Every structure is written in C-alpha cells, then in structure tokens.
Structure 1
Amino acid sequence: MRSRIFIAGLLLLLGTAVFSPVPGVLGFTNPASAQETFEDSIAKWSRLLDRVQQEVAEDSITPERIDQIRNSLSAVRSEAEVLRDAANAELGPLRNKLDALGPRPEESEPPEPEAIAVQREEIMTDISAQTAKLKQIELALSRVNEAESSAIAVIRDRRIADIMTVSPFPLAPQTIEQALPEFLEVLRLIVESPVTWWQSLRENELRGSLFAKLAFQLTIAIAIGWGVRRLLFHWFGRDASLENPSYARRLSGAIGEGLANGVVPAMILAAFLPQALGEQSLLSGLFQSVAVIFCVAAIFVILASALPRAVLAPDLPNWRLLPLTAQNARTISRVTPVLALIFAIDAFFVEIMPALGQYALYRPSEEQRSLYLFVTNVLEAIGVLTLCRASLWRADPTAPGMSAEQVQKATQGPWHLWWMLRYLAAILAAITLLSSFFSYVVLGAQLINSLVLSGAIAGALFLLRGLGREIIGAVLRTEMIRTQIGLVHSTRKLLKFWLRAAFDLIVLITGFILISPLWGLPFGDVARVAVSVLRGVKIGSVTISPGDVLVAIVVFLVILLVTRFLQRLLSEQVLPNTRMDSGVQNSLTAGTGYIGLTIAATLAITTLGLDLSNIAIIAGALSVGIGFGLQNIVNNFVSGLILLIERPIKVGDWIVIGGNEGFVKSIKVRATEIETFQRASIIIPNSELVSNAVTNWTHKDRYGRVEVVVGVAYGSDVDKVMDILMTCLKEHEKIMTWPEPQVIFQDFADSSLNFEARGFIAQVELRVPVGSQLRIAINRAFVEAGIEIPFPQRDVNIKDIDRLENAIANRSSTQPPEPGQ
C-alpha cells in the first residue's frame, strides 16, 4: 500500500497518468463483440459474478487477485451501462409510437381496426422485451455492486489488520542486533546490482553501444533541458532590481522558477523511465528495479525542493508569494528538501524490498522492518513538526503588496483554514511518534507518508490555483473583452468573481480526488462516484447532471458573448455607416440582444435535456397564477417591445413625462432609464411610457424654439423695443433665419408692457443656454437705449383719510407733556 501511495503521488505531481485495460481476467473481455447476443452477455456476467463471490469468500485470496477482480467488475459495469443506455434509447421511440396509437378502446366502444390492434400488440411486446432487459441489467449491476463491496471490505479489513499490527519493539537490543546486519546486507545487494547487471551483458560490443547510447541520450536531454531552463528564466525569471512587482508578476516568476528548477530536471529523469521499463530495455534484474525506483525518488526530491523555493523566494523578499519574514522563508526552504529526501530514501527502500525478494531471494525480518520504519517515521515526523511551528509562519507586516492589517487577518486568525490544517498536521505527526514508540510502526508510516504526499499535492495545487486565477483576470482585462464584446467594468468584475469561484471549486475537487486515496479511499471508488455524479441523478423522469448543467452554462455564456460582440459590431461599425437614425440603430441593436438571449436560453435548456413540451404543459397549468402574479412584468415587457418597434421614444431623446424630464439613456426589457439634467437616473416602467402622454422634444427632429418674455415700463417706445428684440434675435449665431424669428407684443400687464422674442434653433437641447444668452443681450441693449424694465407697482387707496388725520391730531393735543419739558 505504501509503495502504491508513493508511485501514485509522484505521477499526480508530474500531471501524467497511464491507464491500461486488463483483458482476459477471469475469462472476461470488454467490450463485448458485436456478434455476442444479450443473452450471452447475461450468462457470461452470471458465471463471472458467481466465481467472484466464491473467491472473495476465501481467506487465501491475494491482494493482486482482488485488484484483478475489481478490474473485471468495472468492465462488467461499463458494458452493462452501455446496454442499459441502449435499451432506454429503444424504449423511448416505442412509447412514443404507443402514445400515437392512443388508448385502447373501452368495452362499450367499437373495437379498433385489426391492423392497429396488431401493431399495438407488436409495440407492447417490444416494450415488454426491453423492460425485461432493463430488469436483468439492473439485477446484474446490483450484483456487481455487492461483489465489489465485498472485495472492498476484504481489502479494508486486511489493511486495518496490517496497520494495527504490533511489531517488535524497535529500540529493544535484540531488535537492533538483528536488524542492523540485515540492513547492511540490503545495502550490499543494492550497491552490487549494477556490477552484476554489467557483467551479465554478453558481449563487449553490446556494452560499448549501450554506453554510447546512454551517453548520447543524456547529452541530448541535458542540452534540451538547459535550453528550456534558460528560456523559462528569460521569459518568467525574477528581476532583482524590480522593487515592487505585482502579484501577477510574482506568481509568473514563481511558476517560471518552479518549472525551470523542478519540472525540467524531473522531466529529464522521467524520460528514461519508459526506456528502463520497456520491453526493449537493456536493463534487467535487480538493477532495473533499483534504477527505476531511484529515478522516481530523485524526481520527487527535485520537485519537492523546487516548489518551496519558487513560492517563498528566500533570497528575494520582494518576489515572495507568502507574507513571511526572510529568516522563516529560508528555514522552510531548507527543511522541506531535507524532509523530501528522508521521505524519498524511505520510499526507495520500501519499494526495493519486493525486488530483493524476487531477484536475490532476500526476505526482511519483522525486526528489520520495525527498526527501519521507526527511524524513518521519527525523522519524517520531526521534519513535519518543525514545519508546523507557529513562529515559522508568522506574517511579515512589511511584506510587499500587503498591509499589516491584511497580513494579520490572512495569517494570524485563530480559525483561519491554514492554521487549522497546520494544527491537524502537527497532531498527525505527534500520533506518528507515539504510535512508533508503542510498536505500531506501520500505522505511523501510513499516517506520515500520507501527510507528506498530501502536503506536496496541496502545494502544487496552490500554484495551479494562483495561475488559473491570474489567467482569468488577464483574459477579462483584454481589449477584446473590454471593447469588442463590450463588457462594462461591473460586469467583468462580477464575471471574474464567479469564474474564479468555479475554478477554486474545481481545484478543491481535484485536490480531494488526488488526496483521498492517500488516506484509504481508493482512487477507483472516488472516480466512480465522481463519474456517477457527473452522469446525473435521476429524479422521476428527469435526470439532473452537473456535467450537463456546466455545459449548458458554457453554451449560454458563449452565445451571450457572441451576441454582445454582434451588438457591438452593429452599433460601432455597421449601423453608423447607414442612413438610419440613432433610434432605429438602437432598436436593431436591442432586438439583436433579445434574439441572442432567446437563442442562448433555448439552446441551454436543450443541452440540459429538458423536454420543452413538459415545460409548456407546466407553464399552461400555471398560466393563470403567473398571469396574476407577473402581469405587471409581462405588461412592461410587451410595452418595451412596442417602444422598440413603434419608436415613440428612442435612446438620446429629450422627453418629459409627468414631473420627470431628461434624456433617454436606455430602453430595457422592463423599464426605461432617463437621465435628468442633474445627472440623476430615473427608472420609468415601460407601461407608463406607452399608456401616458409623453412630451418628446426630439421625436422627429432636433429643431426647437426659444421664447424670451420681457416687460418694459409704460410709456416706452413700442417700435423701438420690438426693433431691439429683433436685432438681438438676428445677431445670435444659434438663431435660425428660417423659420424667421418673431417679436410679439404679448400683453398689457399690471406694471409693464410684455413682449415675447421667439427664435428657432437646430439643437433643442440648447434652449436653456441660448435663452440665457438672449436675455443678457436684451438687458444690455435696453440699458444702452434707456428703456426701463419696471418693478411691479401697486396703488393703495385708504378710505376716510380725513377722519384718520383728525383723530391723530386730537390725540396729540390731549397727550400730557414729557417730564422735564
């Protein structure tokens, strides 16, 4: 189990996987041949499942045999699912035909024609046959699941028994006395393996050609690797002179250094693995296993050493991805390679033991196993505990790009996820130490190895997550997204949030799938559950599939983006070159958006596999309730379509409705947005614009009239006043000569003679500034001509003024004199 964990972890870190079918196990091949009938498949499955049940029940079954059985069961499940899908596909048309024939006539009704009755019986017979097939397939799948559960139970019970085995006390003198010589013997066999292999080569010419071939391949690999490494440093390398690089630049530098120092050397070593394991390989015997396992262990050490240095940049604090101090970054960068080296040496010796038993007939004793696992467990646990120290992960308030408050919030919170994981890792390392001291060395090895590999995978996914998030942000900042597709900043910000959230979820699920096998959950089981979930959960006659939902969302977004691109193309390049007015152009652009939205929604629903006829039935049943509940929304939607078709108003028009006045900014599905002269936005439901009176200053054209009312004092020269007003109108550059301006003697007011100066302008939105300029010119001309603009005048008449005067005089004569007079 430990060896499988080690190999699987390395392959996952390198991002490669090799899947190969296992044909011929238990006499079963997959898929079934085209000539094989359904009955033959059922009989073959039954024989296979009967033998599986017998073998799983035996105590002597080997782990290798259990793996073969599980492969065979997986093959049976795959073929059964294919046949089940085929049967369901045939049932659909048959049921449609039966529905087309209608229900069978009642006894009181006339019998149906004989031809239809015969056809009905044939269809029902076919439906019964397909239904029977489905039941047999479901029964076979149930037996497969039962047999696989039994096999998993056997594996689990044996693994638990192996893990909980009490080994000889590793520090006992007799254990050490027996284990040390055996371990020296293992070292001797490993060191002598290349000499033994070299001597086994038959001819000197073969040795020479082999040496030349290996030297040539090594030279080519090193040259290619060196060139790729130089390019990576040139493209993504860190510039020490750059004082404050952005996070994206720091991330690209970390990825470039990680690839150059880790992945490239690892790939050079990995290139020799197919040759060492291939059928034409000249390596053989024990040395072949030693070379392959050593190469895999070296790859792990290289990757595990390059990853922390790439993230932490111990010598370049400005390029550090995590807000750590320079001392802590250097300590982590030194401890991690040492821990990786110890783990790789441990895994090397564990992996080489089966090869020693095969080629050298060597069998390690329990004492050697106990002492060896104890030493490696203790060393690895100490390394993990060293990395889990709280002081090692204290944040640096002077970290680039982060304030002290952000650093404290991100790394020092007691319930932060990273701190919880650190505590968990420290607890598992402590359990490893305790279990090893109490002779449960296998349990300790399982815990510490799973912990180390989980940390390596999590570190790789951390870099992958950062890279993916930056790519999403970079794509949404491109010129095409901002201008050609026309996504505004708020929309791009919202889209970036959801895309990054979805990517984080994908990374999290990937981490669970990769790490869960390390902790006892088989990879095949996790993959099967994931595939089952992606295929969908059936609820009644509807199957809900996350995969279909994801594809539907992608289809909807892609069509929506294409629609926005077409809208932008129409509004900026195509329609401006036509003679259509702006209102027609806006209507065509908006209509394109509605059509694209409808197509996107329809295709998304179709991709989900939903039956539109069922949706229509449900919508019809709920139409009354929807009509009452959504009548305002439907009314506004229809009104919006009327506005776009009839165009009583259009974008850019100056309108007045009720007490609201402003320019039309947009006509949307439910409402129209008006921007007032104070730059305030007013959202008016479309139904109000259709049902109420609307004043549109710019409906047909943009011509408008400016009126200036002015009053002069009684006694002024009327002709002179009218001449001055006409002169002011004609001298203003914005006043049009046709229609001609007019001056009207409007009225005899209480305090003045009122005149009105009227002039037309080509841009009605300039009414206010032109009117202000005319008033200034008129006032200046009146002052120069001595024409008075009067204040309001009032005549007050007081009755019996004589009596009031007499009363005041009498009161003054009877008043006593003031003191001192």
Structure 2
Amino acid sequence: MTHFLRGFAALCLTFLLWVGAGLAQTDIDYDAWTKLATRAEDVIEAGRASDAALEQLRAEIATYRETFLSAQSTSSDRISTLQAQLDALGPVPEDGTEDAEIAARRTELTDQLARLRTPVQRAVEAYSRADGLIREIDTMIRSRQTDALLELGPSPLNPQRWAPALEELVGAMYSVLGEVTNAWKSDVKQAEMRSNLPLIITLVLFAIVLVLRGRRWIGRAVEYLRGKTRRGTGVWSFIVSLGMILLPLLGLVALTNAAEATGMFGTRGLILLQHVPALGAILLFIRWLADQSFHRDDEIATVHFEATRRIEARAYFSLFGVLLAMRGLLNALATTANFEPDLLAVMDFPILLVCALFLFRFGQLLTGIGRHHPEDAEPLSEVAQFRNGLARLAGRITMGVAVVGPVMSGIGYTNAGTAMVYPTVLSLCLAGVVLILQRFVNDLYRMATDKSVSEAASLLPVLAGFLLVLLALPVLALIWGARVADLTELWTRFQEGFQMGDTRISPSDFLTFAIVFSIGYFATRLLQKGLRTSVLPRTRIDVGGQNAITSGVGYLGIFLAALVAITSAGLDLSNLAIVAGALSVGIGFGLQNIVSNFVSGIILLIERPIGEGDWIEVGGQHGIVRDISVRSTRIETFDKFDVIVPNADLVSGQVRNYTRGNLLGRIIVEVGVAYGTDTRKVEKILLDIARRHDAVMLNPAPGVDFMGFGADSLDFRVRAVLHDINQGLAVRTEMRHQIVEAFAREGIEIPFAQRDVWIRNPEALVGKQAPVPEPRPEPQKDEDNA
C-alpha cells in the first residue's frame, strides 16, 4: 500500500515537473548531455547500479529527451518558408545557363536552410540516443522486477522458521517499549512531559471525542440530509459523509501529536507514530467505502446485494482495511528492526492467509449477484445485466487469486503471492471508488437538471463514467506494480504522436484542430440562426429560398471551419494526395449513390425546384416537403407518416409540384344525370354552385362542360380554380353535397348504372320436367306403443 501511495505521489510530481519543463524552454547544453549519455552507457554496460540509481539516471535522460523533442520543431515555420522560396525558383537548369542573380539567391537560401536545419538534425540524433538509453534502462529494471517476482525462497510454512520470526517480532516490540521505559526514567524527559501536560491533555481529549463520536455525528447529519426531499440532497450528503474519514483522522493526528509531545518515544517509536495517521486513513477510508458501496438503502448502495449479503460484504470490506493497516504497521516495524526478508515473509503469511480467506468469500458474493432475481420483479435492464456480468466475472477472478496467491506464497514464491492478493483487494477498492464517484456524478446531474439520469436519458453521465474509468487506469497500473516511469513513458509516446510523411502529427495538433473547428462550427450555427430569425425574414425571399440560403451558409461555414482548423493545426495534407487519388476510384464505385444524392441535394438547394412546405407528388406519393438535406428529402404524407426520398430521384425523376410559386390550383368535379333531363338547366345549376363557393376564384371564372353521352347518364364536368389548392378536397366534398341537394330540389335524377341483358335462343334453356315421386303411405302406429 505504501508503495502504491509513493508511486501515485511520484506520478503527480512527475506530471508537474513535465508541465514546468514544457513551459520553460532553455538552450541545450550538448556537452553536458554527451557526458550524461556516456555515463549512462557505462552504467548500463556494468549492470551493477541499484534500481533507485537507474531510476534517477532515467529521469535525467528523460528530461533531455523532452528538450530534444521540443527542439525538433524549432524554426519549422521559417524552414517551410525557405523551402517554399527555393521551390519557387524552380529546379537548376541542366545546361548551366541559370541567371547569375537567381543562382546567387538560390545559394543564399540554401545556406540559410542548411543553418536552420543543423540544430534540428542534431536534436533528432540526440533524441534517438536518449530514447535508446531509456529503453535499455527500462528493460534492465523490468528484468530485475521479473526475477524478484519469481524468486523462490524458504517456505513460510516451515515450522523451523516460526520461532525465529516470533522472537524477532517480540524483540522489535520490546525495543520500542524499552525506549519508552528508558525515557520514563529520565528526569529531563519527565520535566518535558510535565511542561507539555496541558497540551497533551487537550489533544488527547480532542482525539477521544473525534475518534469515538465523529463518525456518529456525521452519520446523523447524513441521515438528516437523506430524509429531506430537497434538490441536491445526494450531493450534499455525499460531501458530508466524507467527514466520517476526516474527523476520526484529525483525532488520530491529534493523538499522534500528543504522543510525540510527551517526549517518551525514541527513534523507533517515532517512526511507528509517523505511520499511524496514514494507516488510520487507510482503515477509515476502506470502512467509509464499505458503508457507501453496501449501504442498507438501495438508492445509496452502488453494489446491490441482498440485505443479508450486503451486511456480510460490508464486514469483509472493513476487515480488509484492518488487515491492510496491520500489514502496514508490520512493514513500519520491519524498517525499524531490519527484519530479514525470510522472517518478514513468515510474519506476513498469517495476514496474507486471512486476507485470502475473506477475499475468497467476497468473490463468492460477487458471483451471486443477479442470480436470485425474483420472478415477479421487474426484469433487469441491459445496463444492469451487463454490470452484473462484470461483477460475476470479477468474483471468479477474485476467487482464483484467493486460492493461487496463498499457495504460491506457501511454496516459497512470497513476492508473487503477495503481488496477487493485496493488489486484488486494492483493485476492488478502486472499483468501489469509481462506482461511488459515478453515483456522485449522477447526483450532480440531477441537482443541475432536476431530472434523474434514467428520466433524462442524457449522454453526459455516461461520458463522465467513461472518463472516470480512464482516470482510474493509471491508478490501477500503480496498484499492480507498474512504475511511474512506465506511465510517463506512455504519456511521452502519446505526446510524440506519429509520423506521416515529413509531418509529425501530435495530440496537440488534434487538440488545436478540435478547438478551431468547434469555434468555426458554433460561429456558423450562430450565423445561420441570425439569418433565419433576423435577416432573411425582412427580405422578400420566400420560405424555400430562405431555407436554401441558410443551408448553403451552413455547409460553406463547416467547410471553411475544417479548412481553417487543418491549417491552424499545421497538418500538411499534400502527402495524402496519392492516397486520396487511390481512394477516389473506390469512392467512385462504392459511394456513387451517396455522391449522386449529395450533388442532387446541392442542385435542389441552388435551383429550388421544390421547397419546404410545397405539396408534391413523386413516385405515386403525395405529401408536403418538410426537410431538404444534402442526401435526401423528407416528405410528410397526408396520412401523417414520413417518406424519405433520395435527392437523385427528385432531380432525375418526374415530380409534380402543386404549390410551387403560388397556391392557385384547379379542381374538377364530375357528375352524371339521367337521360331526358334538361341539360341547360343542369349546366346553370352546376355553374351557380361553383360561383357561390368562397374558395373559387371568379377570374378565371369557373366553367361547366357537357362531356358527352355516357352508357348510363349524361356526363357533366365542373372546372374551378381555387385560391388555395390545399383546400381542394374540402371544396370538392362541399360541391358534391350542394349538387345532391340542388338536384333533389329540382327533381333531377342521378342514375344508377343500367344494363340491358338480351338472351339468345331462350328455348334452349327450357328442359324436361323431372317426374314427381308418388307419396309413400304412412306406417300404422302401434296403439300399445303409442
């Protein structure tokens, strides 16, 4: 645990130093670098330096490597400018007839370019040397770590080593007590303690109150906040719950200061006292973690066991904290007494064994998550099923580690067994922290939006959870024995980026591209909104034209934003010309439909044969155009469902637009009357009905046509032009009602379909009559049976 804490602190310090080195650029002392590189090569060749010395040497080389990497981009703009000037002069004539002035200018530019490239090339060479040395040092340290991990020592199960180990442990404890006894016999120490007695009593009372009552006070405050239904309750209760760690920890610090103020502890005792706050923090943190992860309230608990299993899991987690604190105390005692590694392994084995037993039982609890879901309860969501699956997998891995770790340690592979059991416990703690922070993020989101994550179905909490997992990965690596240098090396490789032709693309280039493109994108959206709401409505451009202008500005703005972002990031895309030429063939065949629709969309936005709000007919579908994009057009039919039409069909196919330019349109109503009806009278009635309707225009005037003599009726047709063709169906319906009513008043008949059937040779259909059967006599009834 202390190794992990030191590693995490070193990681933070290394990051701050890296930032400082990036901010302060200085000239490179190549003489000092040459001496350092030569010394490093000698140390690597000798192979006798300690791990600490190698890490220190590696840190110095890494600092130089960062400087060399920065120097490679020095004067890059000036170099590009000079190269462009040389390219503008053209190639040197083969016949040697170049003008003297141009030749002199070419020589001058070439000399300037060579002077600027010299330090860059030197930095590239030095960077390669530094990178190679760092790789060799890392390989040496990893080889030593592997050898130490797989080192076979005496078995802690050997009874012959129990007595010496116990004697060493008891002797170390007696040495600490001996220092206290000798100090108590000293008059000077007693006088010092009496002078500090008021301070000691105050600190002890303060410590007792905080240690014994602090958690209870904070627990009551959290329960009070949880009982409220105010907004942000989960956030504030989480923040207050951290007092369960802080208040007792302050008590432990006060108690430690009180013990130091007595002056009764010697060198070994002071070393142990210095470890008490850190070990107490570990114990308090894991206990708080257990309470938050396996709380009795389902809304607070992050791991949903059954009620009885939740209590058991909380107890196991708390015991993990106790065992880790005991192991830390044992290691602190070992530093004061200089225990032999073999004897320390014997002392540590009981703690390891008990920890493995609890770990195995906790793994069994994890494997049972979600297996006993009640049948009458609501089915679990896919997210819950996925989490339960991960928990069961972690449980099986935990059980395997709990078995293999003690076995390997018992055989004699103490380092390997220790490196399996304790990191597994810390990994479980880290997973609990991530889940608790995810719940805290959800509570923050609910406080900000007054909606739960499930109600809002927002992506932000999911992204926050993903970010938490990414931040936990370096910590997880430190838990499992990774060096800080390993993590910083990964960050260095990420910072370097990758080489594409003559251009190195780094994460800073991507960041610059993303920032500039985002600014351009939002500026384009703001310009579109301003045009749509303030500028274009004040013009005489119709709605379709306004939408076309707005869309065109959007596409142009996004294209310019991408172009400016690429230029700002310094990305040279000229090297991609060959690749783009090769890909164009595949695009031509594989994406021809998409490209065709895209070009057709541009044509629709420019020519505007149709616009949003138009009533069109395409492919037998009638509907209103609701949206025109670069790939397709969305049409809402009169049945209120959407039809997505590719733009290529609208450009190359036949489209009827009923409302383009204006809403005028003609309707036709057909009707038939019986033979013998006065046709002039029918014409007058129909014409009056058309003229009286409010939606019918009088110029051009409506008309009635006598179409002809039908098989069943005399056929007429009413023609009328409407102010708004969108009312055509309603006008037709109303005219038909009025025609029926007017014909009924005038006694005009609307005939049914009539057919005359003529039967040829009817005598052939007459056949002979069938003989009539004679009636059968009824049987006589038996009177007795009757």
TM range (shorter): 0.7 to 0.9
Provide the residue aligned with 2:276 in structure 1.
294
Report the alpha carbon displacement of residue 188 of structure 1 after superposing the two structures with TM: 2.7
Residue 241 of structure 2: SS of its match in structure 1? helix
Distance, in Å, in 2 between the alignment partners of 1:322 and 1:400 is 21
Provide the residue aligned with 1:385 in structure 2.
360
Is 2:428 the counterpart of 1:455? Answer: yes
Residue 85 of structure 1: SS of its match in structure 2? coil
Residue 388 of structure 1: SS of its match in structure 2? helix
Choose 305-314 or 623-632, whichever is displaced more: 623-632
Report the alpha carbon displacement of residue 43 of structure 1 after superposing the two structures with TM: 1.7
State whether residues 687 and 704 of structure 2, in contact with CA within 8 Å, keep that contact through their aligned partners in structure 1. no
User: What is the 5 A alignment of 1:222-237?
Assistant: 237=226
Distance, in Å, in 1 between the alignment partners of 2:525 and 2:211 is 49
Provide the residue aligned with 2:657 in structure 1.
696
Q: Identify if the C-alpha distance between structure 1 residues 254 and 682 changes in structure 2 by more than 3 Å, giving closer, same or farther.
A: closer
Q: Identify if the C-alpha distance between structure 1 residues 648 and 817 changes in structure 2 by more than 3 Å, giving closer, same or farther.
A: closer
Residue 86 of structure 1: SS of its match in structure 2? coil
Provide the residue aligned with 1:482 in structure 2.
none
State whether residues 662 and 674 of structure 1, in contact with CA within 8 Å, keep that contact through their aligned partners in structure 2. yes
State whether residues 503 and 572 of structure 2, in contact with CA within 8 Å, keep that contact through their aligned partners in structure 1. no
Aligned partner letter, 1:516: A
User: What is the 5 A alignment of 1:157-168?
Assistant: 159-160=148-149, 164-166=152-154
Q: Identify if the C-alpha distance between structure 1 residues 430 and 608 changes in structure 2 by more than 3 Å, giving closer, same or farther.
A: farther
Residue-by-residue CA offset, 1:132-177 (whole Å, 9 max, x unaligned) = 414532343245325523652575267447x544366564353355
State whether residues 56 and 150 of structure 1, in contact with CA within 8 Å, keep that contact through their aligned partners in structure 2. no
Is 2:713 the counterpart of 1:713? Answer: no
Is 2:395 the counterpart of 1:422? Answer: yes
Distance, in Å, in 2 between the alignment partners of 1:455 and 1:229 is 24
Q: Identify if the C-alpha distance between structure 1 residues 429 and 651 changes in structure 2 by more than 3 Å, giving closer, same or farther.
A: same
Aligned partner letter, 1:700: G
State whether residues 165 and 442 of structure 1, in contact with CA within 8 Å, keep that contact through their aligned partners in structure 2. no
Counterpart of 1:347 (choices 328, 344, 355) is 328
Q: Identify if the C-alpha distance between structure 1 residues 651 and 332 changes in structure 2 by more than 3 Å, giving closer, same or farther.
A: same
Provide the residue aligned with 1:185 in structure 2.
174
Is 2:24 the counterpart of 1:43? Answer: no
Residue 718 of structure 2: SS of its match in structure 1? strand
State whether residues 726 and 741 of structure 1, in contact with CA within 8 Å, keep that contact through their aligned partners in structure 2. no
State whether residues 302 and 435 of structure 2, in contact with CA within 8 Å, keep that contact through their aligned partners in structure 1. no
Is 2:703 the counterpart of 1:728? Answer: no
Is 2:373 the counterpart of 1:397? Answer: yes
Aligned partner letter, 2:390: L
Counterpart of 1:785 (choices 726, 746, 751) is 746
Distance, in Å, in 2 between the alignment partners of 1:31 and 1:756 is 87
Residue-by-residue CA offset, 1:266-291 (whole Å, 9 max, x unaligned) = 488489989x99xxx99996666444
State whether residues 552 and 604 of structure 1, in contact with CA within 8 Å, keep that contact through their aligned partners in structure 2. yes
Q: Identify if the C-alpha distance between structure 1 residues 611 and 781 changes in structure 2 by more than 3 Å, giving closer, same or farther.
A: same
Provide the residue aligned with 1:260 in structure 2.
240
Report the alpha carbon displacement of residue 518 of structure 1 after superposing the two structures with TM: 2.7
Provide the residue aligned with 1:765 in structure 2.
726
State whether residues 334 and 344 of structure 2, in contact with CA within 8 Å, keep that contact through their aligned partners in structure 1. no
Residue 357 of structure 2: SS of its match in structure 1? helix
Q: Identify if the C-alpha distance between structure 1 residues 627 and 34 changes in structure 2 by more than 3 Å, giving closer, same or farther.
A: closer
Provide the residue aligned with 1:485 in structure 2.
none
Residue-by-residue CA offset, 1:194-223 (whole Å, 9 max, x unaligned) = 989994997987876798899999999999
Counterpart of 1:747 (choices 696, 707, 715) is 707
- Alpha carbon RMSD of aligned pairs, Å? 5.1
Q: Identify if the C-alpha distance between structure 1 residues 752 and 21 changes in structure 2 by more than 3 Å, giving closer, same or farther.
A: closer
Q: Which runs of no fewer than 5 residues in structure 2 stay unpaired?
A: 774-786
Aligned partner letter, 1:295: P
Counterpart of 2:339 (choices 358, 361, 364) is 364
Q: Identify if the C-alpha distance between structure 1 residues 259 and 563 changes in structure 2 by more than 3 Å, giving closer, same or farther.
A: same
User: What is the 5 A alignment of 1:454-603?
Assistant: 454-465=427-438, 496=459, 506-545=467-506, 548-549=509-510, 552=513, 560=521, 563=524, 567=528, 571=532, 580-603=541-564
Provide the residue aligned with 2:776 in structure 1.
none
Provide the residue aligned with 2:87 in structure 1.
99
Report the alpha carbon displacement of residue 728 of structure 1 after superposing the two structures with TM: 3.4
Provide the residue aligned with 1:3 in structure 2.
2
User: What is the 5 A alignment of 1:109-124?
Assistant: 109-110=97-98, 113=101, 114-123=103-112
Residue 319 of structure 2: SS of its match in structure 1? helix
Q: Identify if the C-alpha distance between structure 1 residues 373 and 93 changes in structure 2 by more than 3 Å, giving closer, same or farther.
A: farther
Residue 662 of structure 2: SS of its match in structure 1? coil
Distance, in Å, in 2 between the alignment partners of 1:148 and 1:165 is 27
Distance, in Å, in 1 between the alignment partners of 2:461 and 2:112 is 52
Aligned partner letter, 2:293: V
Distance, in Å, in 2 between the alignment partners of 1:504 and 1:424 is 23
Distance, in Å, in 1 between the alignment partners of 2:691 and 2:262 is 105
Provide the residue aligned with 2:627 in structure 1.
666
Report the alpha carbon displacement of residue 371 of structure 1 after superposing the two structures with TM: 3.5
Report the alpha carbon displacement of residue 504 of structure 1 after superposing the two structures with TM: 5.7
Aligned partner letter, 1:260: V
Distance, in Å, in 2 between the alignment partners of 1:410 and 1:628 is 41
State whether residues 513 and 566 of structure 2, in contact with CA within 8 Å, keep that contact through their aligned partners in structure 1. yes
TM-score, length-normalised on structure 1? 0.76
Distance, in Å, in 1 between the alignment partners of 2:727 and 2:271 is 89
Q: Identify if the C-alpha distance between structure 1 residues 22 and 678 changes in structure 2 by more than 3 Å, giving closer, same or farther.
A: closer
Distance, in Å, in 1 between the alignment partners of 2:270 and 2:16 is 24
State whether residues 728 and 777 of structure 1, in contact with CA within 8 Å, keep that contact through their aligned partners in structure 2. yes
TM-score, length-normalised on structure 2? 0.79
State whether residues 690 and 696 of structure 2, in contact with CA within 8 Å, keep that contact through their aligned partners in structure 1. no
Counterpart of 2:285 (choices 299, 303, 321) is 303
Distance, in Å, in 2 between the alignment partners of 1:640 and 1:197 is 98
Distance, in Å, in 1 between the alignment partners of 2:585 and 2:57 is 59
Report the alpha carbon displacement of residue 789 of structure 1 after superposing the two structures with TM: 1.3
Choose 469-478 or 135-144, whichever is displaced more: 469-478
State whether residues 709 and 756 of structure 1, in contact with CA within 8 Å, keep that contact through their aligned partners in structure 2. yes
State whether residues 663 and 675 of structure 1, in contact with CA within 8 Å, keep that contact through their aligned partners in structure 2. yes
Q: Identify if the C-alpha distance between structure 1 residues 342 and 402 changes in structure 2 by more than 3 Å, giving closer, same or farther.
A: farther
Distance, in Å, in 1 between the alignment partners of 2:451 and 2:516 is 21
Report the alpha carbon displacement of residue 180 of structure 1 after superposing the two structures with TM: 4.5
State whether residues 208 and 251 of structure 2, in contact with CA within 8 Å, keep that contact through their aligned partners in structure 1. no
Provide the residue aligned with 1:129 in structure 2.
118
Residue-by-residue CA offset, 1:35-74 (whole Å, 9 max, x unaligned) = 85x4xx2221121223334445667644443332232222
Distance, in Å, in 1 between the alignment partners of 2:544 and 2:470 is 50
Aligned partner letter, 1:51: R
State whether residues 370 and 439 of structure 1, in contact with CA within 8 Å, keep that contact through their aligned partners in structure 2. no
Q: Identify if the C-alpha distance between structure 1 residues 554 and 312 changes in structure 2 by more than 3 Å, giving closer, same or farther.
A: farther
Q: Identify if the C-alpha distance between structure 1 residues 676 and 32 changes in structure 2 by more than 3 Å, giving closer, same or farther.
A: closer
Report the alpha carbon displacement of residue 590 of structure 1 after superposing the two structures with TM: 2.0
Report the alpha carbon displacement of residue 771 of structure 1 after superposing the two structures with TM: 0.6
Report the alpha carbon displacement of residue 304 of structure 1 after superposing the two structures with TM: 1.3
Provide the residue aligned with 1:246 in structure 2.
none
State whether residues 45 and 76 of structure 1, in contact with CA within 8 Å, keep that contact through their aligned partners in structure 2. yes
Aligned partner letter, 1:334: A
Provide the residue aligned with 2:782 in structure 1.
none
Distance, in Å, in 2 between the alignment partners of 1:193 and 1:88 is 71
Is 2:309 the counterpart of 1:334? Answer: no
